[in-house]
Amino acid sequence: MEMEVKPASDYPLPDLLYLLNRSFEDYLVPISLNLIQFLTMLRKDSVDLYASRVLIMGGEPSGVALIARRGWASRLAAMGIVQNIRGMGAGKWLMEKLIQEARERREREMVLEVIEQNEYAARLYRGCGFQSVRRLIGLTRKSDGEKETRPLDEIDLREAGTLISQYGIPDLPWQLAGETIAHLTPPARAYRKDRAYAVISSPEAEHVVIWTLLVEPAARGKHLGVDMLKSVMANHSGKTWHVSAIMPEEFGSVFERAGFEREDISQWQMKLTLSHI
């Protein structure tokens, strides 16, 4: 069946969202976004709808690939194929097309995350030249009902993003990079305690995501990270706390010392070098 692509920017946002949700039906971790969630993702992750693609097969929209861009790098933010044409080679064709277009844009690297347990997708990306950078994990902790509050200073989310860019590891997953965190807005919050920092989603919700935990390099090894986690949870008691499966595995022990448990789903952070020039 003949395949072609069109810019995602050619489609009204509700239509594009409908296709995205269709393309992830019966996926290992199903995705079903509403319009507000979709708009938030586009903004904070720097998704370029003109560079993103809708796959056309037999004249019908049959898949979607969202491409985020910053500087010389791009990220495959999402790629899905509608259920009735999976297994027909569309995913590989589309991925090769996206890589070709990234090279034409003179980008130097493309990155993505893929669920480790999704062996078919991982093989597809490796077959296209992507290499694993590290394993990414998710963690969860239910509140123990602690009522005692601890002193924390709230800081601007933009300041938190700057600190991550300054002190964080240079190859953080895209969603945890300083540029992404700087694009978060309230009701997300950022906190400082001594030389440790944390960024969380809305503390008014029943389930709260911890986006960032950062300790300045000169202060590491003093358990400030664990103390920050416990302080944040104490100040917002009665919540269920989540770390999405985009946290580098090497940081997992800090969360585990604060009572978090690893989730079953993990991901590979992957990178394709496009050019050294």
| Residues 152-168: tens digit of each pLDDT | 999 999 999 999 999 99
- Predicted confidence (pLDDT) per residue in 167-190, tens digit: 999 999 999 999 999 999 999 999
110 vs 150: which has the higher pLDDT: 110
Q: What is the mean pLDDT of the chain?
A: 95
pLDDT, average across residues 224-248? 95
pLDDT at 145 over 90: no
pLDDT at 55 over 60: yes
Q: 227 pairs with which residues across the strands?
A: none
Q: pLDDT value at position 29?
A: 81
pTM: 0.94
Domains and CATH numbers, the chain: 3-107 (3.40.630.30), 138-267 (3.40.630.30)
User: Residues 116, 121, 126, CA angle at the centre, nearest 5°?
Assistant: 90
How much of the chain exceeds pLDDT 90, in percent?
91
Find how far residue 229's CA is from the centre of its chain.
Answer: 21
CA pair distance 103, 166, nearest whole angstrom: 29
pLDDT at 63 over 70: yes
Q: pLDDT value at position 28?
A: 84
pLDDT at 277 over 60: no
Could you tell me which of 23, 25, 246 has the C-alpha nearest to residue 116? 246
Q: What are phi and psi of 204, to 5 degrees?
A: -80, -15
